[in-house]
Amino acid sequence: MIERAPYAQLLGVCEWTDADGNVGLAMPASPALEGRQGFLYGGVIGSLLELACLAALAGEGEAKEERPRPINITIDFLRGGLMVESYAQARIVRLGKRVVNVDAFCWQTDRDNPIATGRMHILRPPGA
């Protein structure tokens, strides 16, 4: 469902599911995502992490009528993103009644060497 969001389409993000049924996002490199020459823009990496967090929550069967709202996000940039395809996956740390804590990471060629990690608090819509 995240890949149907106009903003996800603007970035060229699409969804995939791993062998365990966990949702992940993939984002091919494109000149429109570049920051300083030869590197993926930091804001784009942050946005991909954020979309991964929202996708993980949507995978929990979150109510569709009202969207969950981001409260805040913390992004650590570990290394420069190259102009190659990027991937992101998130894990729900705690699914509270009102607040969800989510961890996400983003990698390129090697899943064990992430280029960025993120943490998010998300407010669940009432009655979810």
Partner 1 sequence: MEAEDPFERLKSMPPRGHHALLGIYHVAAGADWAELACPFSAEFLLDAGSGLVSSGPVISLIDAAAGAAIIARTRRWEPMATLDLRVDYLRAARPECTLHARATCHRVTRRVAFTRCEVNDGEPANPVAFAAASFFFTSEP
The residues binding partner 1 (CB under 8 A) are: 5-7, 9-11, 31-36, 41-44, 46-47, 50-51, 54, 66-67, 69-77, 80
| Between 14 and 73, CB nearer to partner 1 | 73
Closest CA to 77 of 101, 110, 43: 43
26: CB partners within 8 A, 6+ apart? 13, 14, 15, 16, 85, 86, 87
DSSP character for 20? T
Structural Rg of the chain based on CA atoms:
14
Q: Residue 5 Cβ, how far from partner 1 at the closest point, in Å?
A: 5
| Between 45 and 89, CB nearer to partner 1 | 45
Q: Residue 7 Cβ, how far from partner 1 at the closest point, in Å?
A: 4
| Between 49 and 107, CB nearer to partner 1 | 49
Q: Residue 63 Cβ, how far from partner 1 at the closest point, in Å?
A: 13
Q: How far apart are CA 111 and CA 19, in angstroms?
A: 15
| Between 74 and 113, CB nearer to partner 1 | 74
6: CB partners within 8 A, 6+ apart? none
Q: Residue 4 Cβ, how far from partner 1 at the closest point, in Å?
A: 8
Closest CA to 25 of 59, 48, 42: 48
